[in-house]
Amino acid sequence: MAELDGPESDLWADIAHESSRRLLLAALESFAAHGYNATTTRRIGERAGMSPAAVYMHYPSKQALLFEISRTGHEAVLRDVQNAIDGIASPKDRLWTFMHVFVSWHARNHTVARVNQYELASIPPEHFGEIRDLRDRFEAALMAELRAGVESGDFVVADMDVTLLALLSLGIDVARWYTGRGKSPDELGRAYAHLALTLVSAERE
Return the pLDDT at 54: 84
**What does the alpha-carbon distance between residue 93 and residue 205 come to, in Å, rounded to a whole number?**
8
Residue 1: what pLDDT?
A: 38
Judge if 124 and 81 occupy the same domain. yes
Q: How far is CA 95 from the centre of its chain?
A: 18
Domain extent at residue 75: 63-199
Q: Are residues 109 and 45 in the same domain?
A: no
| Residue among 85, 119, 108, 82 at smallest CA distance from 174 | 108
Same domain, 178 and 80: yes
CATH number reported for the structural domain that contains residue 54 in this entry: 1.10.10.60
Q: What is the DSSP string of 94-106?
A: HHHHHHHHHHHHH
- Residue 200 C-beta-side C-alpha neighbours within 13 Å: 35
> CATH code at 76?
1.10.357.10
Q: Which residues of the chain have pLDDT under 50?
A: 1-4
- pLDDT at position 81 is 97
d(CA 79, CA 109): 14
Is there a single domain that holds both residue 81 and residue 156? Answer: yes
Element (H, E) at 75: helix 62-85
Helix, strand and coil content of the chain, in percent to the nearest 5, comes to: 75, 0, 25
Number of domains in the chain: 2
51 & 74 share domain: no
- 151 by Cβ neighbours in 10 Å (0-12 / 13-18 / 19+) ranks as exposed
Do 161 and 70 have their domain in common?
Answer: yes
Tally of residues, the chain: 205
Same domain assignment for residues 109 and 183: yes
195 and 155: one domain?
yes
| Any domain includes 2 | no
161 in any annotated domain:
yes
pLDDT value at position 205?
64
The Cα 20–Cα 9 span in angstroms is 12
Q: What is the C-alpha separation between 96 and 205, in angstroms, rounded? A: 11
**Looking at residue 124, what is its pLDDT?**
85
